[in-house]
Amino acid sequence: MDANELRGVQAPLKEQYRRDPGSARTALRAVGRIASEGVTFDVDQFAGVSRAGLHRATGGDGSEACSGDMLLEALLACAGVTLRSVATASGVGLRSVQGRAEGYFDARGTLGVDREVPVGVQDVVVTFIVDTDADDAALARLAKVTERYCVVGRSLAEPATIVVRRP
pLDDT at 159 over 90: no
d(CA 34, CA 52): 10
Backbone φ, ψ for residue 3 (5° rounding): -60, -40
Q: What is the mean pLDDT of residues 36-47?
A: 93
Angle (nearest 5°) at CA 5 between 25 and 93: 105
Sequence-distant (≥ 6) Cβ neighbours of residue 13 within 8 angstroms: none
> 67-155 is classed in which CATH architecture?
2-Layer Sandwich (3.30)
Each residue's pLDDT tens digit, 85-139: 999 999 999 999 999 999 999 999 999 999 999 999 999 999 999 999 999 999 9
Mean pLDDT, to the nearest integer, of 146-151?
96
Q: Where are the domains of the chain?
A: 67-155
Q: What is the pLDDT of residue 9?
A: 95
